[in-house]
Structure 1
Amino acid sequence: MGLAPFTAYILLFLALPTVLAIGSGLFDANGAFTLDNIAALADPVLLSTFWNSTWLSLLTAVVGAVVGALVCYAMLGLPETGAVRTFVDAAAGVLAQFGGVMLAFAFIATIGLQGLVTRLLLDVFGVDIFADGPWIYELPGLILPYIYFQVPLMVITFMPALSALKPQWAEANLTLGGTRGGFWRHVGIPVLAPSFLASLLLLFANAFSSYATAAALASQGSQIVPLQIRTALTSETLLGRENLAGSLALGMIVVVAVVMFAYSLIQRRAARWQS
């Protein structure tokens, strides 16, 4: 009974929309069953869109995971109740959820065509960061905003695993004649590798499914899958493929499901030593 509200929430806001999204891609505008929408996923334009989402998600996930892991390592020597550790934990919790229109506006105001940093670099140093075009409103412009919320998410997910390393292991390594580098090479990194990979997969899924920031920043074009779904839902030129958005959603669900399945397997292995 205690899980009933949570179960109802999952069914209403996760399971039902998923079923409707998948189901809509299997029917045409007249409600007849068809596989044309699924076959449309082989279109070179849509394949390019999936590739854009994949490399963007992978790049920002790797950068976010590495930078976030370094931040966690820097905080490892700080007391858990100290001011710095508490501030970083609180900031990570807030910034990991800072996205959408607010994040897009922050980057436009900072490094947009007339942004504060853009004008400062141009007026003071003579550096025009948009000499090759307004890249911030195109696909490369999504890299920095995505990294912005990927790093704090990595801090949240990876810090518990790093904190679980027992100081006794390092002391035993030194007692037996080992070095600090040898400890990380033979003990620390192998033990943390599953947790790091699990966090990396989580960051990939987070970036792959992000929509609001991209929709607010790259308002023109459909460079990634979520924006392509928006186009499929709002365009009046997709004759015969009115339910293409459902097929695109199915493709995203398959990719995210595979990633999260791998995440659960790796996380299960990482939980063995953490417990």
Structure 2
Amino acid sequence: MTTLAATGADASASAPTATAGPSRAARGRRSAPSWAWLGLIPFAAYVIGFLAVPTLIAIGSGFFTKDGSFTWTNVAALGDPVVLNTFANTGWLSLITAVVGAVVGALVCYALLGMNPEGAIRSTVDAAAGVLAQFGGVMLAFAFIATIGLKGVVTEFLRGAFGVDIFAGGAWIYELPGLYLPYIYFQIPLMVITFMPALAALKPQWTEANLTLGGTRASFWLRIGFPVLAPSFLASLLLLFANSFSSFATAAALSSQGSQIVPLQIRTALTSETMLGRENLAGALALGMIIVVGVVMALYSLIQRRAARWQS
């Protein structure tokens, strides 16, 4: 009996030691230095070299003259009526194309919701949206010029077959109104890409619970679907606005003359030989764009954080 008691005491005394051993080992493993952050060095160098440094140079140049003297003249020019009108044009262009792109893109997502995710139609639309969302710049401008330009295929067909001249009121495609269609063209597929995951995250259990409690299809969307999707829709809308506000290549290719929007006005400030004494106005215009896009993307981040609660 004495031997058994001693054995039991030894076992109970050794048990905490056996438990404590792995804990110390685990703590040792946790305290070991991690070198995983080294993998971020190439990305950090890319961001610093191609985003942070150009942004700082663009902002800083707005506060200096050509000879390096500090000045408020360039920044004060942001209050000029011409500059304010250009920002207003850019804002309306971005807002209208973002709203149209968001509404049409959301309807496309709704149409795709009932289809098989692995089916041919769904896969084709997803692939096309991924490609067309990036189909901008000179290629998109050329496509519209060749299609509905002054001598475009559709323009000539309408003239010959129906006697309709879509340019009877002027060459609008090469002015500010001509930017709306190309911008909407790449806004819709971008909306499909960004909004489809939120729409697909609607849980079937919510529909079943609504039907069990006597609800209808309309009540589901009014009381569950729309409130849940509203943050994601607004976040996508803000993303489309920022995308349109900062677009340059398509507008530059379509509108070779004039500076109806801010990106084109920055180009004019950089290349014009008539703006003596205000060579760094482009930096002040870039500062204004950065502020607008920064505010929009900050709101996007806040709304997207709220939307993520329902998608988790």
Q: Which amino acid in the other structure matches residue 186 of structure 1?
A: R
Rounded to whole Å, the distance in 2 between the matches of 1:260 and 1:160 is 19
Measured after TM superposition, the shift of residue 254 of structure 1 is 0.2
Query: 1:209 matched to which residue of 2?
Result: 246
Q: Confirm whether residue 66 of structure 1 aligns to residue 103 of structure 2.
A: yes
Match for residue 112 of structure 1? 149
- Residue type of the partner of 1:11? I
Q: Tell me the equivalent position of 1:160.
A: 197
The structure whose Rg is larger is: 2
**AA matched with 2:82:** V
Unaligned runs of 5+ in 1: none
Match of 2:81 in 1: 44
Q: CA shift at 1:168, angstroms?
A: 1.1
**Equivalent of 2:90 in 22, 28, 53:** 53
Tell me which residue corresponds to 1:12: 49
Q: Which amino acid aligns with 1:199?
A: S
Tell whether 2:207 aligns with 1:170.
Answer: yes
With normalisation by structure 2, the TM-score equals 0.88
CA distance in 2, matches of 1:121, 1:175: 55
Q: What is the one-letter code of the residue matched to 1:133?
A: G
Q: Which string of whole-angstrom CA distances, capped at 9 and with x for unpartnered residues, describes residues 36-69 of structure 1?
A: 0000111111111000000000000000000000
Q: What aligned pairs does 1:102-251 form with structure 2 within 5 A after superposition? A: 102-251=139-288
CA distance in 1 between counterparts of 2:217 and 2:66 reads: 65
Amino acid at match of 1:158: F
Q: Output the CA distance in 1 between the equivalents of 2:51 and 2:269.
A: 21
Hey, which bits of structure 1, 4+ residues long, moved more than 3 A?
A: none
Identical pairs, percent: 78
Letter paired with 1:192: L
Alignment partners' CA distance in 1, 2:109 and 2:54: 36
Structure 2: 5+ residue stretches without partners: 1-37
Matched, 1:22 2:59: yes
The Cα offsets for residues 161-200 of structure 1, whole Å up to 9 and x where unpaired, read as 0000011111110111000000000000000000000000
In structure 2, what is the Cα distance between the partners aligned to 1:84 and 1:128?
Answer: 36
Pairwise CA distance, 1:5: 1.1
Aligned to 1:237, the other structure's residue is in SS state coil
**Quick one: higher RCO (CA 8 Å, sep 6+), 1 or 2?**
1
How many correspondences in the alignment? 275
Mapped to 1, the partners of 2:101 and 2:178 lie a distance apart of: 16
| Counterpart among 71, 75, 78 of residue 34 in structure 1 | 71
How many Å separate the matches in 2 of 1:219 and 1:99? 16
Specify the SS of the correspondent of 1:136.
helix
Matching residue's letter, 2:43: F
Aligned-residue offset at 1:147: 0.2
Superposed CA offset, 1:56-95 (max 9, x none): 0000000000000000000000111111111000000000
TM-score (norm 1): 0.99
**3-state SS of paired residue (2:114):** coil
Aligned partners of 1:216 and 1:149: how far apart in 2? 15
Residue 254 of structure 1 is matched in structure 2 by 291
Distance (whole Å) between structure 1 residues aligned to residue 308 and residue 39 of structure 2: 25
In the TM superposition, residue 273 of structure 1 has moved relative to its aligned partner by 1.3
Deviation at 1:4, TM superposition (A): 1.2
